[in-house]
Amino acid sequence: MPADIPSKERLFNHHMKIAVLTLGCKTNQAESMNMEHALNNAGHQIVEMLEKPDICIINTCTVTSKADYQSRQLINRALKNNAKVIVTGCYAELNNEQIKNIDNNIEVIRNNNKSNIINMIPNEYSSGNINFSKYARHRPAVKVQDGCNYSCSYCAIPMARGRSRSIPIDRVISEIKFYESLGYKEIVLTGIHLGTYGLDLKPKKSLSMLLDNILKNTNIPRIRISSLEIKEIDDKFLELLTEERICKHLHIPLQSGDDNILKLMNRTYSTKDFLSGIERIIKKVPEISIGTDVIVGFPCEGELEFENTKKLIESIPFSYLHVFPYSPRPRTKAVTFSGQVAGAIKKERVTILREIGMAKKEDYIEKNIGKSLDIIVEDRCEDGVIGTAGNYIKVLVTDENNIKEGMLVNVHVLGHKDGIAIGIPAKNLELLNKQSFFICL
């Protein structure tokens, strides 16, 4: 956790150039950002890979075989750069041997020791100027929980991260206040299994208690919740969701729309539970944006099971879908299941659901045409600036003089293209309306 803002003296008494490369989930991103803060506080310079770092810290992921491959790719890239390579994260946790086989000099750090990396960096390198470019992420993830007590049959994460552990409320509050003091407009509460927040604390706490405390004790304009299981959304949480500062956006993994597959996956809900949970949320917050994850081609998923998934997805007004082909993870239960699905079929099903996902995204954006949304500006492109709204839609803002990255801007949505809303600053619309009023006169 970032302890305090680095003083100028500490910043310029730096030691080396360090690149932190991250794969995977928001929790990994939050952990990388905390490493960067700690390294910067210690006077090191955070750089991009292109800037020839002295040290490369690679925070890996093992959620799919593709993530494993990308982790190894980043390690090899760092080695080619002649940097000292430190590897951590979920891939490193489960594949220590494989990493040592790539190069015996690579230092592998356990997931639970990540926050100590700062103390393992030797002080023998030199570096250039301080560069805060990595601080430019505009919606920082705040890790409030780690680990998972569930045992989904396809998932290797509990092996890599252990059982659920929560960060005490006062520490979360001071981290959010830190971001607030730097002018950030949004934080994303993140964890591996966020819904179990606080159950391990003494006395027990809950995610709703945490949210309540954040609302009372911080002024950060926007609070987003990264991912929750359907059965973890209770009445207290739904009440908090109506608060203005809580983003009207939830990500609720479905994984499959077939009850037999859900059982094989060892998920803790049925399709009926999922559907009634979604109905309850929409009744309370009708404008909410709900995204989901779906795994296709899980063992035993035949035509019928896939059709069930497709039908269920079509019946729910999701605002986007993240669709993944099932990826057999070593040492998980699902790798031993018979009825593994051929790669070509998985590919076909991914395409079908991604198309449905795109159509749903556009439907949701269309509902926002004519509305005013507050966006956090995150990027600049040829046509203007791009930002994220509270309901998670991306908005391209044209006609945008004086708008800078990181700003919270009220925009008016006029249309959409390729899954992105298109808008103008709301104040320009007022101007436009006044002008047409005078023309009419």
Measured CA angle at 144 (ends 26, 251), to 5 deg? 50
Residue 337 is a binding residue for ligand SF4 (CB under 6 A): no
Q: Which of 152, 230, 295, 421 binds ligand SF4 (CB under 6 A)?
A: 152
Closer residue to ligand SF4, CB minimum distance, 192 or 214: 192
What gap in Å lies between CA 62 and CA 260, rounded to an integer? 26
Could you tell me how many residues of this chain bind ligand SF4 (CB under 6 A)? 9
Please report, as residue ranges, which positions from 370 to 429 form the binding site for ligand SF4 (by CB under 6 A): none
What gap in Å lies between CA 415 and CA 369, rounded to an integer? 6
DSSP strand E in 194-306: where?
A: 222-225, 249-251, 289-296
Near ligand SF4 by CB under 6 A, which window of 146-154, 283-291, 344-352, 408-416? Answer: 146-154
Near ligand SF4 by CB under 6 A, which window of 95-103, 110-118, 151-159, 422-430? Answer: 151-159
Residue 325 is a binding residue for ligand SF4 (CB under 6 A): no
- Decide: residue 53, CB within 10 A, 0-12 exposed, 13-18 middle, 19+ buried: buried
Q: Which of 16, 46, 189, 192 binds ligand SF4 (CB under 6 A)?
A: 192
- The pair phi, psi for residue 277, each rounded to 5°, is -60, -45
Near ligand SF4 by CB under 6 A, which window of 36-44, 145-153, 202-210, 303-311? Answer: 145-153
- Burial profile 7-36: b = 16 or more Cβ within 10 angstroms, e = fewer: eeeebeebbbbbbbbbbbbbbbbbbbbbbb
396 strand-pairing partners: 386, 422
Minimum Å gap between C-beta 228 and ligand SF4 is 10
Minimum Å gap between C-beta 297 and ligand SF4 is 16
Closer residue to ligand SF4, CB minimum distance, 157 or 409: 157
Minimum Å gap between C-beta 93 and ligand SF4 is 13
Minimum Å gap between C-beta 381 and ligand SF4 is 34
Helical segments of 85-198, H only: 90-94, 96-102, 117-120, 157-161, 169-181
Please report, as residue ranges, which positions from 153 to 182 form the binding site for ligand SF4 (by CB under 6 A): 155, 157-158
Q: Which of 44, 134, 185, 193 binds ligand SF4 (CB under 6 A)?
A: 193
Minimum Å gap between C-beta 392 and ligand SF4 is 20
First vs last C-alpha separation in the chain: 59
Beta-strand pair 289-296/249-251: parallel
Minimum Å gap between C-beta 155 and ligand SF4 is 3
Q: Return the structure tokens found at 41.
A: 């506080």
Q: Which of 125, 150, 269, 337 binds ligand SF4 (CB under 6 A)?
A: 150
What gap in Å lies between CA 411 and CA 429, rounded to an integer? 9
Using DSSP's 3-state secondary structure scheme, residue 317 falls into: coil
Residue 148 is a binding residue for ligand SF4 (CB under 6 A): yes
Near ligand SF4 by CB under 6 A, which window of 42-50, 68-76, 152-160, 417-425? Answer: 152-160
- Decide: residue 284, CB within 10 A, 0-12 exposed, 13-18 middle, 19+ buried: middle
Minimum Å gap between C-beta 75 and ligand SF4 is 24
What residues line the site for ligand SF4 (CB under 6 A)? Answer: 148, 150-152, 155, 157-158, 192-193
